Amino acid sequence: MKIAHVVTTLYDTNATGWVTMLARDQLDRGCQVDLIVGRNASPQLLAERRAQGFGVFQVSSLRKYVRPVQEIRALLELYRLFRSQRYDLVHTHLAKAGVIGRLAADLAGVPQIVHSVYGATFAPTQPWPRRAFFRDLERLAGKATDAFIFVGKELQEAYCRAGICSPPQSQVIYYGKDLSPFLAVAGFTLEEKRACREALGFEETDLILGNVSRIVPWKGHDYALEVFGRLKGVFPTLKLLIVGDAKTPSERGYKERLLQKVRRQGWEGDITFTGWVRNPARYFAVFDLYLLTSMPLEGVPGAVIEAAVAGVPVIGFDCYGVREIPGVRATLVPPKDIRAL
């Protein structure tokens, strides 16, 4: 069987990690597996995937953020690729690749089309015209889809309610991850946690809010800064530790605006941006609370799974999937409600 996995971006994230594990299993079973990725991709990961035996195609017109002319080019480029490669199955992942990839695969006559959904493209926090537009795009692409895979039950239910798919053609598959480093953190003694704080430059008396996520607007880091500003006067030892980084040019612009606000407010000694970290488990050893500021676009927040395993309580905006995580201690408030948070 000849299979293509289509992803919008290729970075070290939960979603692309899941794609790689699935594709590697298919490769081991004797399938021919290609990865088709958009413009925003890590050169290192592209080289690694080629070395692992995957065919790799990069579609430069397929980009993370909406650009109408580029979308048409991406549709045509994917259509030509699907026609020439004659895949038996095309499996799309993430929002942009999901819509454009499925439409192109349908036009090219691909026999089987599967789509994995990692988060909602039409969130209730979006303005109504934008939400309706993305919902209708999903409905259109849904007509070309043979099967859906959702990473969470609440996400599946939202898509079924919106008329995008039906329960018989959809399945919930929670993505797997090695959580042993976070289980180890849950067993740390007070002395080990103090040592982690000291190594990271924190005092024992510091009250540390933590957030682990890619720095993109919908992850809500600007809300995290606002919450910090409101609480700092009440809790003088409050610190905010943000673990993660921006990848694309527009995301780096968003991060720079966050850093400018930190400098304007004189918070440089209280708010830390670590940049990208391959294994963030040790940071959970210093968090007093995990601060979830994402908009309800999540499927199941991966960092909240890690917090639950590490024994860190969560407080934040109500997102899809949080209630599905076993053992999570979470206090949730309506999205964007800073006062409640």
* 258: nearest Cα among 221, 294, 230: 221
| pLDDT value of position 297 | 83
Task: Report the C-alpha gap between 280 and 276 in whole angstroms.
Answer: 9
Q: What is the pLDDT of residues 185-229, one digit of tens each?
A: 999 999 999 999 999 999 999 999 999 999 999 999 999 999 999
* 309: nearest Cα among 221, 183, 216, 200: 183
C-alpha separations of 209 from 36, 90, 288 in Å: 38, 41, 6
| pLDDT value of position 247 | 86
| pLDDT value of position 179 | 95
Residue 300 pLDDT class (50, 70, 90 cuts): very high
| pLDDT value of position 154 | 94
The model's pTM is: 0.89
| Mean pLDDT over each residue of the chain, to the nearest integer | 94
Read off the pLDDT of each residue in 87-98 and give the average, rounded to a whole number. 95
Q: Are strands 147-150 and 170-172 parallel, antiparallel or unpaired?
A: parallel
- For each of the domains in the chain, give its residue range(s) and CATH number, in order of start: 2-172 (3.40.50.2000), 180-333 (3.40.50.2000)
Read off the pLDDT of each residue in 55-75 and give the average, rounded to a whole number. 87
Kindly report the backbone phi and psi dihedral angles of residue 14, in degrees, each rounded to the nearest multiple of 5, phi listed first: -60, -45
Q: What is the pLDDT of residues 220-273, one digit of tens each?
A: 999 999 999 999 999 999 999 999 999 888 899 999 999 999 999 999 999 999
3-state secondary structure of 273: strand
